[in-house]
Amino acid sequence: MGKLVDVSHQVSDGMITYPGIPEPAVEEGSAVPGAAPGLGKSSGRVEMVGATGTYVDMPAHRYRDGADSADLDLERVADLPGIVVDATSATQIGPEAFKGLDLRGRAVLVRTGWDRNWRTDAYGGDGHPHLTELAAKTLVERGAVLVGIDGVGVDDTSPSAEGARPALAVLLAAGVPVVSHLCLLDRLPEDGFRFFAVPAKIRGMAAFPVRAFAVVD
C-alpha cells in the first residue's frame, strides 16, 4: 500500500463548520449502570447535522429520487483515481481550469487554498472560491465521477447569489457526489493517487461527514 494522506477536518464538540449550520454536540463515553461485564461503558454520542466538517453531498440533497447515504454506490466514493486541480489564483473557477486534463472516471479535487481560513471568521465570509455553472457542466461532460473542494462548497454563497446553487445542482443531477471542506490538498500530487470519501450507510441522509483520504502511489 502507498502513503496514506488524510484530507479531512476533525469534528469536535461545538465547532463551527459554516455560519448558520448547527454546531455538533459530542459526548464522550460514560459508565452504563447494570451493564454486563466488559460492556460497562457506552461508546459516546454525537448529535449533528449532515453538513458537518468534511462531508459529501449526495444526489438526494437536491433530487427526491436521487441516491442517499444508504443507496450511494461505493464506486462513486471509494478507490477512485484522483487528480488535483490547482485553482489557487481564482475566485470564480471556470472551465478553463480543467483544460487539457483527463477527468474521465476520476475524483477531481479542486485546490483553492481556502482551507487556510478554517475555523476563522473569514472562512464563511463572502469571496470564497467556487465553481461556475459552466465549470460544473464541463466536469460532467468530461466524465468526472466525484468533485471535491477545499472550501465552503462548489457554489457562490454571497448575498448576491440569492441562495442559488447552480454548480451543485448540475453535479448532483448527473449523480456526481460533491465533497466540501477538504483540506491539505497541497500534500497530494497532481495525480498518481486513489481517493476515498465514504459516508456511513444511513437511510434518509443526503449529506454526511466523511473521513476523506488518499492513497498515494
Which residue carries 447535522 as its cell? Answer: 49
Share of the chain above pLDDT 90, in %: 77
The sheet with strand 207-209 has its strands ordered as: 3-6, 213-216, 193-196, 80-86, 107-111, 146-149, 178-180, 55-57, 207-209
| Residue 37 is assigned to a structural domain of this protein | no
Report phi then psi at 24, rounded to 5. Answer: -75, 150
Residue 158 sits in which domain range?
Answer: 3-9+49-216
| Residue 187 is assigned to a structural domain of this protein | yes
- Which residues contact residue 50 at a Cβ distance below 8 angstroms, ignoring those fewer than 6 apart? 205, 206, 207, 208, 209
42: which 3 cell numbers?
457506552
CATH label of the domain that carries residue 58? 3.50.30.50
pTM assigned to the model:
0.92
| Residue 190 is assigned to a structural domain of this protein | yes
- Which residues contact residue 16 at a Cβ distance below 8 angstroms, ignoring those fewer than 6 apart? 23, 119, 124
Helix ranges, the chain (H): 133-141, 166-173
Q: How many domains does the chain fold into?
A: 1
What's the chain's length in residues? 217
DSSP summary character for residue 8: B
Which residue carries 457526489 as its cell? Answer: 177
207: which 3 cell numbers?
449529506
Q: What is the pLDDT along the chain (217 residues), one digit of tens a residue?
A: 799 999 999 999 999 998 888 999 998 877 666 555 565 566 788 999 999 999 999 999 888 788 899 999 999 999 999 999 999 999 999 999 999 999 999 999 999 999 999 999 899 888 899 999 999 999 999 999 999 999 999 998 887 666 778 999 999 999 999 999 999 999 999 999 999 999 999 999 999 999 999 999 8
| Residue 107 is assigned to a structural domain of this protein | yes
Which residue carries 466540501 as its cell? Answer: 180
How many angstroms from the chain centroid is the CA of residue 117? 16
- Which residues contact residue 169 at a Cβ distance below 8 angstroms, ignoring those fewer than 6 apart? 62
- Per-residue pLDDT of 72-107, as tens digits, reads 999 999 999 999 999 999 999 999 999 999 999 999
